Amino acid sequence: MNNRETCHWFSVCPIRRYTEQNLIDKKWVEQYCKSEYWCCLRRKMQERGQYHPDNMMPDGTIDKRL
């Protein structure tokens, strides 16, 4: 993977932090952040300036454990 294939929000995104802390499945980073990031709902909402909670996963599901 090179950087062109990683979402430009990755360094500041809570999904990265949760993954590093083993709080969520790394599939999110593999399927979205480092792959099809343009499909990520977090990213879409961020770029529209819409509020989205930290515990919202890239597909829009809320992880209530977080």
CA distance 41 to 37: 9
Per CB under 6 A, 33 contacts ligand SF4? yes
Per CB under 6 A, 32 contacts ligand SF4? yes
Per CB under 6 A, 10 contacts ligand SF4? yes
Per CB under 6 A, 7 contacts ligand SF4? yes
CA distance 66 to 49: 23
Interface residues toward ligand SF4, by CB under 6 A = 7, 9-10, 13, 15, 32-33, 37, 40, 42-43, 46, 58
